[in-house]
């Protein structure tokens, strides 16, 4: 029996069914049971047929033979009934999963539409609210950032952002409350609210500009696709760049390791374990097969620098925002350069695994059409709005108590197999870390749980990924580290 924190919820992959892996595995066991009973039925009928062939053939048979035939016929009827019962139960489980999937989609759609309307109203009323509440709002935002552990020390931040503030300031009070209640940042309800808010940014902007919500809807994700998360990210970046934030710079691959021999990747957990940590941001494994073109598995790490001002690290907030915008972020350019150095071309077969920002980069590369992507595996990635072609197999793992994937919006632009897990279900949140459900180690544990599952979409997904290495006689691995180059402007 699994605990709530160990159970996975699987959706997507071209199916409307949404349920726990335990339910899907139960349906699979029932299907196998039906097959076993069907085989027993076939054998019973084959045995009973030569005995007498029915009541007319029982004349002159020994009493034992007649009884045996009758018993076999009775057993056959029971098996037919059992097959019907098992199949009805199996279909009931699948229908429950389908019904849950439809209900979840209906609720999500309704919530998205309500959030969009509220955002539009908020945008229209913002000018009035700004005049009335801007000082308090500024203090609250600054205090929240301080309380969440973002930026410099509390005292320095207060002096820099809120001159003359004291402990009665609402922002400072909010900051103090967040420091004492970090668990709220890992609340699945907050994660859902953030996802809805992200999807409503364009509606808020439309309200601010006085544009009708119906016009915004026509231009948004469900309409022409002109407005949405990408366009909103572009606008945000444009607004803050005059202040020196989120400015892109040139990037260079500063260091690459010597190739070392490794084994081929063989599971979800194995691939999650190969995602680079530390100084290196990219790992590329080359599969060599005599007489065939080399194949590559690319592993991309997550954000290393959370400052809005670009420094030496390309895996920063600047790249995060630009990657969400769909423009050529510094980290995306690094991965492209590393792939080119490794020998990857437009016709080279590639599988990509990425965590956090690395998963967003992986999805952007798959959506670009510039590479022959044979598979995609992402963990904790804000990539819901990246339009990855449906023909590219994609398994995406996300924790429902992790805020980071929520910043990618809803999964409306692609159809991956989505594996969800509430990391802290039934146990207290680790408040020593600001976003504990986003930690790579936690996602590696969830990847291992996916390996243990017998859910069809998960087993088929890993089988496709593992077949990528078939026939390879050797595998070598190289790590890449990149840096930003200071811009001259």
Summary mean pLDDT of the chain: 79
**Residue (of 329, 176, 163) closest to 247 by Cα position:** 329
Per the CB < 8 A criterion, the answer to whether 417 and 10 are in contact is: yes
pLDDT for position 163: 40
Measured from the Cβ of residue 285, the count of other Cβ atoms closer than 10 Å reads 24
pLDDT for position 271: 98
pLDDT for position 131: 44
pLDDT for position 304: 94
pLDDT for position 48: 65
462 alpha-carbon distance from chain centroid: 15
Low-confidence ranges of the chain (pLDDT < 70): 1-6, 16-22, 48-61, 96-97, 99-179, 200-232, 234-235, 487-489
pLDDT for position 7: 83
pLDDT for position 36: 87
Query: CA-to-CA distance for 239 and 217, rounded, in angstroms?
Result: 23
**By percentage, how much of the chain surpasses pLDDT 90?**
42
Query: CA-to-CA distance for 429 and 436, rounded, in angstroms?
Result: 8
Instruction: Name the DSSP class of 243.
Output: G
Computed over its alpha carbons, how large is the radius of gyration of the chain? 28
Residue in the block written with tokens 């020998």? 343
Instruction: Give the pLDDT confidence of 325-384 residue by residue, as tens digits.
Output: 888 899 999 999 999 999 999 999 999 999 999 999 999 999 999 999 999 999 999 999
């Amino acid at each position: 029996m699994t605990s709530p924190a160990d159970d996975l919820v699987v959706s997507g992959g071209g199916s409307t069914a949404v349920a726990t892996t335990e339910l899907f595995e139960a349906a699979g066991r029932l299907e196998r049971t039906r097959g076993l009973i069907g085989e027993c039925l076939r054998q019973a009928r084959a045995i009973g047929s030569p005995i007498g062939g029915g009541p007319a053939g029982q004349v002159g048979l020994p009493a034992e033979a007649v009884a045996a035939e009758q018993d076999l016929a009775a057993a056959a009827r029971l098996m037919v009934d059992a097959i019907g019962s098992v199949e009805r139960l199996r279909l009931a489980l699948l229908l429950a999963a389908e019904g849950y999937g439809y209900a979840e989609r209906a609720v999500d759609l309704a919530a998205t539409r309500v959030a969009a309307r509220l955002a539009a109203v908020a945008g229209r009323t913002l000018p009035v609210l700004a005049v009335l509440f801007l000082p308090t709002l500024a203090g609250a935002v600054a205090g929240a950032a301080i309380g969440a552990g973002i930026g410099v020390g509390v005292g320095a931040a207060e002096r820099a952002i809120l001159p003359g503030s004291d402990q009665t300031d609402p922002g400072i009070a909010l900051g103090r409350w967040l420091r004492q209640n970090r668990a709220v940042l890992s609340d699945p309800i907050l994660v859902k609210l953030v996802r809805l808010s992200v999807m409503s940014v364009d509606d808020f902007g439309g309200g601010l500009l006085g544009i009708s919500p119906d016009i915004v809807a026509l231009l948004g994700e469900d309409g022409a696709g002109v407005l949405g998360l990408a366009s909103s990210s572009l606008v945000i970046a444009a607004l803050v760049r005059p202040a020196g934030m989120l400015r892109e710079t040139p990037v260079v691959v500063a260091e690459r390791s010597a190739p070392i021999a490794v084994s081929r990747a063989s599971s979800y957990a194995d691939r999650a374990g190969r995602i680079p940590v530390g100084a290196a941001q990219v790992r590329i494994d080359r599969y060599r097969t005599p007489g065939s073109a080399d194949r590559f598995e690319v592993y991309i790490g997550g954000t290393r620098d959370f400052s809005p001002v670009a420094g030496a690290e390309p895996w920063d907030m600047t790249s995060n925002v630009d990657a969400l915008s769909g423009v050529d972020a510094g980290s995306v350019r690094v991965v492209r350069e590393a792939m080119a150095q490794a020998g990857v071309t437009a016709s080279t077969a590639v599988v990509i695994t990425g965590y956090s920002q690395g998963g967003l980069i992986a999805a952007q590369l798959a959506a670009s059409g510039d590479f022959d992507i044979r598979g995609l595996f992402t963990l904790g990635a804000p990539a819901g709005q990246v339009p990855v072609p449906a023909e590219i197999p994609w398994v995406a793992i996300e924790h429902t108590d992790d805020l980071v994937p929520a910043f990618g919006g809803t999964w409306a632009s692609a159809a991956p197999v989505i594996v969800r897990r509430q990391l802290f279900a039934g146990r207290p949140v680790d408040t020593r870390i600001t976003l504990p459900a986003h930690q790579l180690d936690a996602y590696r544990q969830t990847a291992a749980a996916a390996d243990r599952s017998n859910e069809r979409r998960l087993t088929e997904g890993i089988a496709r990924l593992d077949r990528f290495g078939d026939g390879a006689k050797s595998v070598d691995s190289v790590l890449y580290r990149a840096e930003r180059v200071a811009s001259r402007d």
